[in-house]
Structure 1
């Protein structure tokens, strides 16, 4: 029997509503009540927050196709090191996660090499190109938890309207990268006083706001 006592941390438990300084006893990998044994390893965590595993809803695990940037193994290891036990992977892989075969591959790879729970999203459009809708029904059956083209905004209002209607049939949330590229193209910093002083092309806030407004109306 192995015991670890996390002593003196700020214990936050959303389920019970607890948010107070306290100790947490772990026995054989499970949180238990009671007093620690004399053999318990005491870890002082003053100034730290002790909480159930966090969820990161936007990660780039890059597999398949872009393992030079990140892998499921390295990405989930980094997540766990920061207290995140579950992550939601974006579909910006190569090929894009726009069909059930790619989703199945990612989920299998996560089971084999991941050290955190990996949830997958599917692309809104085929190849994340914003031209034709991906097969939402097949993606749902493959296990995706949502739909997004990640860093690519759906520029076509008609395509977004169809995406929202179609996704509703499968109870899938749609997450859009809100950016009207006709307004943001070439921007390298926030548009304003300093972009003018420096003579650099600015990115106006309205580039995001018009897409947010459009999507709200379409929804």
Structure 2
């Protein structure tokens, strides 16, 4: 089972990489300022989260194909990425699906992979793949560290260059609302990220569909002593 998910993770990582490269190459050929485009392209939360997802999937494929146990740090990284990708899936389909973003022509198949199919696979992989370790609740708040850093970077850079990756972060989109409206969106999305993250961490505590794997510093149960009737064989 682990090797099967290793292969699936490898295929998913390749699909994500191809989707990112396909969108990047298509847009780069159409923009007047390539240097600004490159920075803007890698300022999208979708692109960053998918790039991180590809890295996590490749590492997970290595563990799966070797049938090796996942270390605690990897399970936490995977939990964080699943949270970000699930957020991307929901925010895109609720707020952005019918909006054309200012990065030249969107490649439809790439758009669907990055916003729909890759997030769905990451979520299903988290639920069904064997080897998932328990994520301690003490690490839960660290899941929000990357989105917080991204929002701070986005708002500071946006105020300087006048460009925001998403319209709901641009205070100039709706005159009279400004930063108050942006704040409402940021708080709502942050609350959703924490809600999704709590569900992801909670799933790591349950034993379905595989036997629970220890983690988060919990000591392993000592082996049962051998009875006097047992014999050791080579």
TM-score, normalization by structure 1: 0.22
TM-score, normalization by structure 2: 0.21
> Whose radius of gyration is greater, 1 or 2?
1
Greater fraction of residues in helix:
2
Greater fraction of residues in strand:
1
Determine which structure has greater relative contact order: mean sequence separation of CA pairs < 8 Å that are 6+ residues apart, divided by chain length.
2
